Every structure is written in C-alpha cells, then in structure tokens.
C-alpha cells in the first residue's frame, strides 16, 4: 500500500529554522551599561554560562559549588528535567559569591534575590533599545555562549552537556 504522505500532491510544511544571530560583545556591553544595576550581574552570568533565564531565576545558594567552580541546575529547574552541572568562570563566580557573605546565605534562597525572568526580559529589551543596539533576548545570550564555546574548540558533547542538550541536537 502506498504511503499517502509521500504522494506528489501532498505538500509538507517547510523545515526552515530561523537563523541564529547571537549578539556581539559590543552589543551585550552597550545593553549592560543601560540596564538597572540589579540586572547587570545576571546578564554577565547568562552570557558566561549559557544558562536559561528560568534556570538562573531558580538557582539557589545550595546549588553553588564554589570549590569546583560550578553550579547545579536541578531537575526541577531544567527544561529537560535532567540535572546538570554548569561551569562558571572564576571571576563570575567570585562576583556572585561577593554579593552575599557566606554566613548570611540561606541554602534554599535564590542566588539573585528578587530576580524574575519576565522582568529581566523586559528590562533587557528596553536596555537594547536605549543603547541603540539590536534587541536580543536572554536566550540569544545562550546562543552566544554556545557559539563562543564552539569557536574556542570545546568538544561538542561537553558544551551540549553544559547547555542541557544531547550531543545530536542542532
């Protein structure tokens, strides 16, 4: 029996993906300086780690491993429902650690107290417009980090694991 979906009169939708165009370092920097100070460190973190903005929103002090220089994205926080460890550059980890003294940290509290993904998206969009740069989203910072890891020669499987992807995803 012939497959009706493969019939010459059946037109399938195009499988075109939107071209990814991550922001440049100059664009990120320009938006950074226009952002309210409360959103600046989260911007640096997203740019340096490739985390999803909702993962950053749910990051708690108990997820921070200062000795190993990494953060845990819990199963509850991850879009894929798979826990993973994300490497954090030493200077970024130090800036976050300096924001709240160790003795004052509540292991169940947000690392960025009061940070909200929706408010951040709005603030970032407005900052881009005010800075006169193309508007980019927190997810575009994720694409930027993936591209930078690729260009620096990081193995695809390693970068995919940090981003919470399988190595075969595109």
Average pLDDT over residues 40-66: 94
Is 18 in contact with 124 (CB distance < 8 Å)?
no
Structure confidence by residue, pLDDT tens digits, 98-157: 988 888 888 898 999 889 999 999 999 999 999 999 999 999 999 999 999 999 999 988
Which class would CATH give 24-163?
A: mainly alpha
Average of per-residue pLDDT values in the chain: 89
Question: pLDDT class for 84, splitting at 50, 70, 90?
Answer: very high
Structure confidence by residue, pLDDT tens digits, 18-39: 777 899 999 999 999 999 999 9
- For the chain, domain boundaries: 24-163
- CB within 8 A of 12, min separation 6: which ones? 5
Question: What are residue 65's phi and psi, to 5 degrees?
Answer: -115, 90
**Helical residues (DSSP H) of 35-114, grouped into ranges:** 37-49, 53-58, 90-99
**Cα(11)–Cα(161) distance, rounded to whole angstroms?**
36
Place of tokens 């005010």: 130
Average pLDDT over residues 52-72: 93
CA end-to-end span of the chain: 34
- Read off the DSSP letter of residue 112: S
């Amino acid at each position: 029996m012939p497959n009706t979906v493969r019939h010459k009169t059946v037109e399938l939708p195009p499988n075109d993906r939107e071209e990814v165009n991550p922001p440049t370092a100059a664009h990120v920097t320009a938006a950074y300086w226009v952002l309210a100070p409360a959103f600046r460190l989260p911007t640096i973190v997203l740019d340096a780690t490739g985390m999803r903005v909702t993962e950053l929103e749910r990051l708690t002090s108990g997820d921070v491993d200062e000795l190993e220089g990494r953060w845990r994205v819990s199963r509850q926080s991850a879009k894929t429902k798979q826990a993973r460890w994300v490497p954090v550059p030493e200077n970024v980890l130090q800036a976050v650690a300096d924001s709240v003294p160790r003795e004052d940290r509540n292991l169940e509290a947000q690392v960025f107290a009061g940070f909200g993904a929706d408010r951040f998206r709005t603030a970032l969009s407005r900052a881009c417009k005010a800075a006169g740069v193309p508007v980019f989203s927190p997810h575009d910072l994720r694409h930027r980090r993936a591209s930078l890891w690729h260009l620096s020669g990081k193995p695809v499987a390693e970068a995919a694991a940090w981003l919470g992807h399988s190595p075969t995803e595109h």
